[in-house]
Structure 1
Amino acid sequence: MRRTKEETAETRDALLDAAETVFLRRGVARATLEEIAREAGMTRGAIYWHFSNKEAIYAAMLERVRLPLLETELQDAALDDPFGMLERFAEQALARIARDERIRHIHIIVMLRRERLPGHTEMADIERDMRGHFAMALRECFRRAQSLGLLRDGIPPERAARAYQGLLIGLIYIGIQDTDAFRLYDDGLEMMRDLLAGYRAD
């Protein structure tokens, strides 16, 4: 009996849920496809129906975070308020991680459970591609701000984009480790606003 598209999608989602659980518990390098299949209550054959290897599972896991965040107004070619867009993006990103346990777990996996081992270049390439995609969207925002006369003189859009990206990633890294002393949403958002205020033209 042929599976429906809905059943196929449900199976794929269940495998990704299981992979996230195993990656969080064991780390990506030590996790095996057998463990992921067992966590999902399925066979390894079910995994290979949807994913070619562990790297493909990892990439799909990241896509579940990437799509809601990067397909936003940041990439809108008709930006009229780039600084407002950048602030709202930071607010949405920090709120999602602070308040959504699953999304927070994925960031913990990427930042703390994905061991950087020799030979795992495919996963590093996946992460590099995501960072590059994000950096490109940010550069376009700051270039738009510059074209509108909103970016402070002497600040290259590329440098502003890197500073924004670096601060946001750093805040997330601190926030997922030091939940008692650092309020990711409240404190982090204020710091992002401080950065943007420093780049606004007077």
Structure 2
Amino acid sequence: MEAKLHRQKAQSDLRRGLMLDAARRVFERLGIEGGSIREIAKEAGYTAGAIYSYFENKEAIYGALLAETLERLHATVAAAGTANQAPADRLEAKASAWFGFFADSPRDLDLGFYLVQGMRPRGLTTELNHQLNDRLLDALRPCETALQSMGLNADDALRENTALFAHGMGLLLLKHTGRIRMFGQDATLLFDAYLISLVERLQKRPG
């Protein structure tokens, strides 16, 4: 009986994963607003009814995709750097990790911008929105912790981390829209320069 339940769960998880993969492709092609349950079902090779047996609506699918993105982001940041690094080196490793994650994956950035900008889709519950926001903050918190280890108090560390994130998001938007080319610049090099400048400024602060 237990083996049967395990097989059933594995099959259910596989179907759910296939549906999410299909939804990601549909959203990439048509956008979140333009994609529909019918389109997702067609892409996945299931009926619309089958999709509804797993997800209440399109927004629930979006929420699941964004949660998946945030888990991968969190894992990427967690794996960056080492615990015995100097705080400045740890800050650079963690910040470069989240920036690189979105630099290499523009579709994940597209999904995340509902979260980043607070423009959540209709139907995404307040509770889920808070959960997703908290998970994003979890991925950014190692930078904040490193800033505190460099001597900043909690308020100053939060302010600097917010500015770092805002700077990085601006560069990522320029990169993925192609607007960075009008300046003849490289987004990653500009982000690295900001990080170096931030570290140098903090290290010059009076003890």
C-alpha RMSD over aligned residues: 3.7
C-alpha deviation, 1:163, in angstroms: 0.8
**Could you tell me which of 19, 35, 43 is aligned with 1:31?**
35
Higher normalized helix content (fraction of residues): 2
Structure 1 segments unaligned to the other structure (5+ residues) = none
Distance of 2:127 and 2:173 partners within structure 1? 20
Distance of 2:166 and 2:142 partners within structure 1? 16
C-alpha deviation, 1:143, in angstroms: 5.1
Structure number with greater CO (CA < 8 Å, separation at least 6) is 1
C-alpha distance after superposition, 1:9-31 (max 9, x if no partner): 22222211211121122221232
C-alpha deviation, 1:58, in angstroms: 0.7
C-alpha deviation, 1:37, in angstroms: 0.6
**Could you tell me which of 97, 110, 116 is aligned with 2:102?**
97
C-alpha deviation, 1:8, in angstroms: 2.5
Aligned residue runs from structure 1 range 79-158, under 5 A:
81-99=86-104, 103-111=105-113, 120=122, 122=124, 129-135=131-137, 138=140, 141-142=143-144, 145-146=147-148, 148=149, 150-151=150-151, 156-158=156-158
C-alpha deviation, 1:34, in angstroms: 0.8
User: Does 2:24 match 1:20?
Assistant: yes
Letter in 2 for 1:25: R
**Could you tell me which of 56, 60, 68 is aligned with 2:72?**
68
The answer to whether the 8 A contact 1:142-1:157 is kept is yes
TM-score by length of 1: 0.72
Secondary structure of the 2:52 match is helix
The answer to whether the 8 A contact 2:70-2:136 is kept is no
Name which of structure 1's ranges 122-131 and 180-189 shifts more when overlaid on structure 2. 122-131
Distance 1:32 1:6, change over 3 A: same
Distance of 1:11 and 1:83 partners within structure 2? 44
